[in-house]
Chain A
């Protein structure tokens, strides 16, 4: 029995050691055992910027599924969520607790259809792969794209791995994600319609803050944004 226990521990130790080496990947690729084991929910990158096509809009984008193939699909059991809060004061960083999330989910049809919902009842749908967002232009309150894209990450994975392991910068300029693809969700949304009504509704006053805190939040409609993937419970 001791030999069996020893063998089991050896396998675990080897797995743990190699696991440490394997999880240091890129922007957010393969960041931890659970995300690595569930590629459909493994967030690789998040972007957030004002729209180049319409300055009233903000663009929220997340990529998942490292090394996606043409047959890769979004999970029907995962909620792909952009967590959004309104910054009410910069110093110290203070956010209004009101939830302003944008949540996207996918059905089982072929091709899949993505549906995203946002504050103020905004909803957008699109067929996966449709780069026109169902002909929703930049003037739409909300539009969404979902589908395969070139991985926007460029990162020397091996160099970073070696750098951390040796505590010495050891980069060789090898992009681990050259010519790779990901699954991307891109939501463009009218910021004033979706998020800023909360500002008008008195988020700053509700937070008990004054403009003396630093930058005037009313002239700085700043959002805090992150992405999360959540597996929905299976009904019993």
Chain B
């Protein structure tokens, strides 16, 4: 039998020192969150929701707007096509997911767009006019 897991794997041992080097998360804490983890960002005219869901196809996602929330649903089944063998290690998550993301601004759901590249799902949501930043004219009055 191939003893591939019996050997020392570098970078595996949990160490106390490692704790201090963990990247700072703004709100995430370890443990149970709804899959997938997301990053919400913005430009002047759109919101962007990103998540890492490798090994899918865009067709496998069900993405839609429900009120002021973006729904991202789908399923990823690992291990398909593998047979006649056995696992030494199974770390990749397998199953279904359903995540609702409450958006911080009003968006035009009809013009939303989704892309999937290298396992990253990116949903772009154009902001409605009222939500876009705009210049406020300021009148300067000489005293």
A and B associate in one complex:
no
Q: Which residues in B have some Cβ–Cβ distance to A below 8 Å?
A: none
Q: Which residues in A have some Cβ–Cβ distance to B below 8 Å?
A: none
